Amino acid sequence: MDAKLNPDLMNVTALDWGIIAAFFIISLGIGLFTAKSAGSSAKEFFLSGRNMPWWLLGVSMVATTFSADTPNLVTDLVRKNGVAGNWAWWAFLLTGMLTVFVYAKLWRRSEATTDLEFYEMRYSGKGAAFLRGFRALYLGLFFNVVIMATVSLAAIKIGGVMLGLKPYETLLIASIVTVLYSSLGGLKGVLLTDFFQFFIAMAGSFGAAYYILDLPEIGSLSNLLSHEVVSTKLNFLPDFSDPNMYIPLFIMPIAIQWWATWYPGAEPGGGGYIAQRMLSAKDEKNAIGATLFFNIAHYALRPWPWILIALASLVIYPNISDLQAAFPNIPVDKLGDDLAYSAMLTYLPTGLIGIVLASLIAAVMSTLSTHLNWGSSYIVNDFYLRFMKPEATDKELVAVGRISTVVLMVLSAFLALAMSSALDAFEILLQIGAGTGLIFILRWFWWRINAYTEISAMAISFVVAIFFQVINPKVNWILIPENQAYLKLVYSVSITTIGWLLVTFLTQPEKDEILLSFYRKVTPAAYGWKKVLDRYPAEKQEQGQLPKEIGLMLTGTVMVYAALFSTGFFIYGNLLPGFIAAGIAILGGGIIISAWKKLH
């Protein structure tokens, strides 16, 4: 089918603008409502007084990952590699479930203000101080700005396609409101706004998918699935006759990526804004419940509307040249398969397009607001308060937090103007964190890991990433054949892991008093601590329930995948597999509920 410009393009009526305006007003109102309590102390501003319920935290996590760049990323993956391309992020469910059943309670027990404060609880001396200060800027500034830039890039593409806005116009509109309510309301304002924005975002994505399937160009769901271009992209798993497909799309994510790489929102062992939510929970039970709800909703509830719209885009815009012809005002460097999601939304009618635009704005703002609060918490608590002004008052810390919120937004906006693809940023961040993930899993349970383990892993993975992403493409034939680019991840993980293991055994372990202090605080299972604990016979050795927790992690993973694929089978019209998968999901849920009551 030849792509054509939708005649209703940018036909946003007063009703649509009214819906969008109401959304902005409510979001700002929440920020103003929570401003007084948020400004009372730094812990209130960044942790909401550690009194948040699981359902609010869980919805906030889902809303944060319901970023505007996520449907764009899914569209990019589906158009390039079919539905199976989503294993690039579906594999992170394993990380998520590990966090739910093993690490959520440990984070809450630590009572840290940020996950970076962990470093000076688990390690000691200059190495621990360096880790905390450096990563406050490395993650809070560099990584955080890159993530926010990908979200802002998605906003640019949405604004350009649906509203005809120039990139800087889109960024000004999205940034101002987000910065206002984030800097005023602190984490509580972010959580409450996320809760409101989540339902807007869900209504928008499901409504858009329903309407697009009924377009004359698509005809119906059955017509879409039988289309010659679409029918080849429906499999949940890649073609196992072609190793250049199944190894990078499935084997690598499932076998290596989920535990070996560090990626914001899917950190092995929890971290970043996920840890921030767990640390702000009322208690351990609410921390676990929040992360469980997040993983179920993130992987099983949300993907299919995005996938269906991505598949529909292949019918109307089969090639990037079709997108370019339909949207000539989009800069050439912003053209890509991810643009197709926004392009499909231009077909929506009055009223629904207002809801969808509000949902996309909600997706942008919920993610940006979380990253702004999380990033500024690092800058304030782990850099400014720790190294620059330990005597700072709460009022001063809140002020610095609000200033850093604005600075982070400005930096990410400038970076977004220079970027072209969310998928590019996704792959670069995975490469930079390759090989470090296993440390974040083991450091709670293995006494031998020290500060220099983490410092070496961080340095080695960064150097290796620079080599593969910047230097090696120019001499690709030296290490990696052109059709086996997935070997980058294998090499990166192997080199980094061997490097930090060598450093671990060649450097001194942490002092016993530091190790015992940490162990008493978080009481992990004693399996990897016995060599230290045996030196102190009076020290209680926590037996824990780690084997049962690992079993629940695997059960939860199967449950969520079964729910995800059950929905897919029903959409495809394959009823028997759909019911079987649904039965597996229900059985998994029953096992988890039964075991939950027995966990202490």
Per-residue b or e along 521-551, where b marks 16 or more CB atoms closer than 10 Å to that residue's CB: ebebbbebbeebbeeeeeeeebebbbeebee
Identity at 65, one-letter amino acid code = T
Q: Does the pLDDT at position 600 exceed 60?
A: no
pLDDT of residue 480: 55
Average of per-residue pLDDT values in the chain:
84
- In Å, the largest CA–CA distance within the chain is 78
In percent, the amount of the chain with pLDDT more than 70 equals: 88
pLDDT for 8: 42
Least confident of 143-147, 204-208, 530-534: 143-147
Which pLDDT score, from 0 to 100, does residue 197 have?
77
Beta-carbon contacts of residue 358 (< 8 Å; ≥ 6 apart): 19, 20, 22, 23, 200, 204
- 98-109: per-residue pLDDT in tens? 999 999 999 999
pLDDT of residue 475: 45
Which among 206, 166, 417 is positioned nearest to 307, based on CA atoms?
Answer: 206
Q: Is 176 a domain residue?
A: yes
pLDDT-derived band at 517, boundaries 50, 70, 90: very high
Specify if 68 maps to a domain.
Answer: yes
Its sign, for the CA torsion 122, 127, 130, 131, is negative
Res 327: pLDDT: 80
Give 61-76 pLDDT, tens digit per residue: 888 777 666 788 899 9
Residue 190 belongs to some domain of the structure? yes
Residue 599 included in any domain = no
Cα distance between residue 158 and residue 420, in whole Å: 13
Find the helix packing angle between 284-296 and 54-65, rounded to 10°. Answer: 40
pLDDT in tens, 143-177: 888 888 888 887 887 777 777 777 778 778 777 77
SS3 for 164-233, per residue?
A: CCCHHHHHHHHHHHHHHHHHHHHHHHHHHHHHHHHHHHHHHHHHHHHHHHCCCCCCCHHHHHHCCCCHHH
pLDDT at 277: 87
Q: Quick: pLDDT tens for 565-576.
A: 999 999 999 999
What pLDDT, on the 0 to 100 scale, is given for residue 6? Answer: 44
Question: Would you tell me the crossing angle of helices 303-316 and 69-81 to the nearest 10 degrees?
Answer: 60
Gap between the Cα atoms of 532 and 516, Å rounded: 8
What tokens appear for 59 in the block?
A: 């919805």
Span 346-373, pLDDT tens digits: 888 887 888 888 877 777 777 787 788 8
Please report the pLDDT score of residue 291 as a whole number: 93
Residue 49, strand partner residues: none
Name the domain count of the chain: 1
Q: What backbone torsions phi and psi does residue 235 show, to the nearest 5 degrees? A: -65, 140
Question: What are the tokens at 317?
Answer: 């815009």
pLDDT digits (tens, 9 = 90+) for 281-315: 888 889 999 999 999 999 998 899 999 999 999 99
Express each pLDDT in 414-453 by its tens digit: 888 776 655 556 566 667 777 888 999 999 999 999 999 9
How buried is 474 (Cβ within 10 angstroms: 0-12 exposed, 13-18 middle, 19+ buried)? Answer: exposed
Does residue 257 sit within a domain? yes
pLDDT in tens, 82-98: 999 999 899 999 999 99
pLDDT at 9: 44
The parent domain of residue 383 ranges over 16-421
Comparing CA positions, the residue from 542, 554, 560 lying closest to residue 595 is: 554
- 316-337: pLDDT as tens digits: 999 888 888 888 877 776 678 8
Side-chain-side CA neighbours of 534 within 13 Å: the count stands at 6
* Amino acid symbol at 285: K
Residue 419: per-residue pLDDT:
65
Is 363 part of a structural domain of the chain? Answer: yes
In one-letter notation, the amino acid at residue 89 is: W
Residue 316 lies in a domain: yes
How far apart are the C-alpha atoms of 441 and 333, rounded to whole Å? 39
Domain annotation covers residue 470: no
pLDDT score of 353: 82
CATH number of the domain that 21 lies in? 1.20.1730.10
State the pTM of this model: 0.85
Q: Torsion-angle region of residue 50: left (phi > 0), alpha (psi -120 to 50) or beta?
A: left
Mean local confidence (pLDDT), 521-536: 91
pLDDT value at residue 570: 96
